[in-house]
Chains A and B, each alone.
Chain A
């Protein structure tokens, strides 16, 4: 009986074993997720799940615009050893279109596919561009979305070179040459979709034309310049450490001719000059202490008329005229904050309220609507009101390079032009209505130059530039005509 019992138990056990089935091979392919969609790109994530080692001779994705995948785009990722995720990137799709996608694999049983996912590529769009103002060959960055590789950019009708497309959202574009000074609109062509910004891009303007050179083979320093109805005057100062330049050259812009003008006064440098007055300066060349020149002259188109000598020291003073009065501000000798007024009617000098900071010939200044404006050594722009004899800060700062001082400033219409400091080439336009700065094209020529004379005639500025004294060689002094709106 026991034997039967043992045999019975053994038989049951055997039966139990016989019922154990081998686990079936299970391989699942999933089109898991659309990781990324843009205008022309789709990045897909697939996953191969298997309960045993598996090798696919090929795997990847099928993509088609119809659900039946009649003409699929196949992204083959090659062989794959074992289970795991895989990423496929599909490029050069059509913007704003619907697609169907599914993962595929070949594990020796023919092609097998995962689930189908529907997706849509995105439409491009524009956000902004920066800067809104610039010149040819500079770079503009256009921000937007879903730009394709073949995106093209136009400034009005002129195509620009696309330098870089970053994350399909940031275009770096080289500004093409301007065809006019008018604002242009930037257009972006993405595949067949044309997008345009509402706000215009403005070209940086300012055209320089070399119109003449100084008629003598000299390089003038520490001189004066002024203009009147007879022309542009450049002179006095010195041409070397040991030699004064004793007269003037006058340029007539109407005839484009130069004329030598004799100076009846004594030689000097570091003098001040306006359209109607010349005065002060240093009487002898050399280092300090300086011998001051107190000669003071009235200027007219017909010549020079000596006035009573000055009773104060003045070296590199700033001078301007307002309401037919001469103002002489600051000096490198004596009181650096002194402000003195010479009234043409009474021929009397009076001392006014001191300036808030030290000004001098190194500070560019201009006159506008009966007030004087001066850029100080820290680039702050000050306003002087002769009616109240008061100085006030405009709150503006000159945005350009201060170089080594001695910039120029002039007004044409409601725009002031400031810049061209020593060893600086930038010139800026200040809109006196909006009090906003805009850069103009840089002056050509040797960058280490400085301006020895500047004038206004009509709608143009004129400036004479001379290379720095440290540059040896026969460099001519060049007279440029500047059209603020030229390109």
Chain B
């Protein structure tokens, strides 16, 4: 009898539990500015977005900021207008003829449609030493809980660091192109689920924009004036990229000390793994400021940098380790970004 009463009471308790609802104060959608101009040929892009508010993934979207007037102004007063890319709203591009001049300082100025004006601190374009040599090697990355390691290709640059100045380096990848091999002979009709081999095409050239998997930055505190080798990039092997030949231009940027500090802090924050040795989360200030309200938080950084780049063709067969080949059972031209003809400047033998 008592047992039944206890069970009944337990049920009553359960039914009385109310979900704990957390009301998160709606934060402002903060303006975020990501822009880089370099001494290389344009066009250079500045991206304007409004960040989503904090909460669940459905709280908001990162929205492009459209219709803004965006200019880059050098220390002599020369103004370059950036026009919005209508196919990719929120991206503002300089004319193709524009490139930053080493030694000059540049300021990014933005006027939004509501009249608010934002400006960057002046960023000086520093000289960049050339990449003396660029090599690559495969790299395995153990993955917790997985039998097979992840892997990819690391880029190593040799540079002769100038002794007379303090240098800050930032490496980025340009859009890459690789030989994509597929199996059209294994194509299966999706409606009938019966084999329907295609005659064409097994080899295409796929272009993609792959960012580095991390921020590759360095300063010359430890090698000022010396020749050094530094890891400057890493591209993950997805089972397709390094089957045949992969081409990428590695861009070496010479950034300001402030930009380096910003990127280092962002790198630290993005690489927090949850251990007790991690740096505490912090609010990273960029170099953009609202002229109407200097205390307004504006995220992002406007980088002006000297740039040099080097092209590398990676022969997959030369890599020590590769992922198992991924099989796409279709005409390679069906893969987004793939074309049958190689780029006009495709020259792996160079």
Contacts and interface: CB of A to CB of B under 8 A. Distances in A.
A82 to B, nearest CB: 9
A125 interface: yes
B73 to A, nearest CB: 7
B119 interface: yes
B112 to A, nearest CB: 15
Contacts of B78: 125, 127, 145, 169
B79 A85 contact: no
8 contacts: A33-B121, A36-B73, A43-B119, A45-B121, A45-B289, A45-B294, A87-B291, A169-B79
B81 to A, nearest CB: 8
Interface string B239-283: 000000000000000000000000000000000000000000000
A168 B81 CA distance: 12
Contacts of A85: 289, 294-295
Contact of A169 (B75, B77, B119, B122): B77
B109 interface: yes
Contacts of B71: 167, 169
Interface string A100-133: 0000000000000000000000101101000000
Interface in B148-187: none
B332 to A, nearest CB: 39
A170 B79 contact: yes
A167 B294 contact: no
Contacts of A127: 78
A151 to B, nearest CB: 13
Nearest to A47: B294
B101 to A, nearest CB: 14
A467 interface: no
Interface string A159-190: 00000000111100000000000000000000
B49 interface: no
Given A35-B121, A36-B107, A36-B119, A87 B294 contact: yes
Interface of A: 33-39, 43, 45, 84-87, 89, 122, 124-125, 127, 145-146, 167-170
B193 interface: no
Contact of B109 (A84, A145, A167, A170): A167
Given A87-B291, A125-B77, A169-B73, 4 more contacts: A33-B121, A35-B291, A84-B294, A85-B294
A77 B32 CA distance: 27
B11 interface: no
A168 B121 contact: no
B350 interface: no
Contact of A87 (B75, B79, B109, B289): B289
Contacts of B289: 35, 45, 85, 87
Contacts, number: 56
Contacts of B141: none
A355 B143 CA distance: 74
Nearest to B111: A167
A87 B118 CA distance: 11
B76 interface: yes
Contacts of B73: 36, 167, 169
A122 B73 CA distance: 13
Interface string B56-77: 0000000000000001010111
A359 B22 CA distance: 78
A38 B294 contact: no
Given A84-B295, A85-B289, A167-B71, A145 B76 contact: yes
Interface in B112-166: 119, 121-122
Contacts of A87: 289, 291, 294
B294 A86 contact: yes
Contact of B77 (A33, A45, A122): A122
Contact of A167 (B76, B79, B121, B291): B79
Contacts of B75: 37
Given A36-B107, A43-B119, A87-B289, A145 B295 contact: no
A62 to B, nearest CB: 19
Contacts of A45: 121, 289, 294
> Which are the 3 A-B pairs with shortest beta-carbon distances?
A145-B77, A169-B79, A85-B294
Interface string B95-108: 00000000000010
Contacts of A122: 76-77
Contacts of B107: 35-36
B299 to A, nearest CB: 16
A43 B77 CA distance: 13
B109 to A, nearest CB: 7
A124 B79 CA distance: 12
Nearest to A121: B77
Contacts of A33: 121-122
A281 to B, nearest CB: 52
Contacts of B122: 33-35
B317 to A, nearest CB: 50
Nearest to B80: A169
Contact of A38 (B77, B119, B121, B295): B77
Listed residue (A36, A39, A84, A89) with the most chain B CB atoms within 10 angstroms of its CB: A36
Given A45-B294, A167-B71, A39 B119 contact: no
Choose among B75, B79, B289 the residue with the greatest number of A CB atoms under 10 Å from its CB: B79
